[in-house]
Amino acid sequence: MKSTRCIRQMHCFGAFMMSALFLAAIPAHADLIITPTFDSSITSSPNAVSIEDTIDTAISMFESTYSNPIDADIYFQSTTTGLGSSNFYYYEVSYISFYNGLVANNANPAAIAGLNSNGGDADTNGGINPVTGTPEIDIKSANARALGINIAPGCVPTGTAGNMTCTSGGGTAYDGIVSLNTSITYPPQANNGVNYGLLSTVEHEIDEILGLGSSLPNTDASSGTVNFLAGNPAPEDLFRYTAPGVFAGPTNCASPAPAFLSYSGATVLTYFNSACNGGDFGDWAGAGYPQVQDAFATPGANPAYGPNEIAAESAIGYDLVATPEPGTWLLLSLALPAFFFTRKRRA
């Protein structure tokens, strides 16, 4: 049985061996549970109550939206740079294990059908991912467990208050770390048109801990090519297209091609950030109105969690609490080394 590999990325790489990969038994509870742990940078803040209440509100939204029977453990801290960021590990698992979990879970039949129409059926294509042609895919621990792949949380927060990052050392492990610059968010600051919505910022970062994001590393280079970590796509990259039936591969920073979220490439749900501008290639480029998963937030806006976020999470295997009818999916369409990753969202 192949063991998982941890992939660590922070301008350098490091690896450690993980336990063997296998399909996990379904936990006893029947819904998604997100358990937060608050760093002292939050608990010691005079605004701790409003910050923690907002995080709890975001968590309640996820728990009432998705029903996969997993526990996701997330560490939250307050920082002083950027707007928000997420730290996590990617785990390299076999594509066929991922695909079989996706099909067995059947969270979004339209997305699975679209993937199959473009060579993504691992049972007939030799077990390779259709984006880069390798037999692996890079996945986060919470997303893996949502598909029945037993990968425990592996991020041990290490550092000082407000500056924790993931390590693989001993200690309590989480699925990831969310950092929030609460000096420029409301709450706790005033909604004065300059600050940013804390609720949507928290939702953006939780989305990434649960599994959204590309394995193309963030960059602000003006030339050169950005390649997938270890040559493998992340789950969301399976729904990242540049044209009907054409997956968005490595990015040419000198002239990046527009990329969009789609189940099969036939219908554009929203455009991805495809420029080498320091933003996440798995975030939205912006559609003329603010969305939770936009790469760059809008001052004064606090967008509601919307259909494109739901479409992306369900495509990578998250079940909705109330499963939509097929017509609803159409409506949404229209509307292991572990690689350590840090995703930073710019204001």
What's the mean per-residue pLDDT of the chain?
Answer: 88
Tell me how crowded residue 288 is: count the other CB atoms within 10 A of its CB.
5
d(CA 255, CA 275): 8
How does residue 347 score in pLDDT terms, banded at 50, 70 and 90? Answer: low
From the number of C-beta atoms within 10 Å of its C-beta (0-12, 13-18, 19+), residue 127 rates as middle
d(CA 292, CA 86): 15
d(CA 241, CA 305): 23
- Mean pLDDT, rounded, for 160-179: 96
Q: Is the pTM of this model over 0.85?
A: yes
How many angstroms separate the most distant Cα atoms in the chain?
57
pLDDT for residue 318 is more than 60: yes
How does residue 79 score in pLDDT terms, banded at 50, 70 and 90? Answer: very high
pLDDT for residue 87 is more than 90: yes
The pLDDT value recorded for residue 322 is: 76
- Write down the domain spans for the chain: 5-345
Q: What is the pLDDT of residues 8-43, one digit of tens each?
A: 333 222 222 222 233 333 344 569 999 999 999 999
Q: What is the pLDDT of residues 210-260, one digit of tens each?
A: 999 999 999 999 999 999 999 999 999 999 999 999 999 999 999 999 999
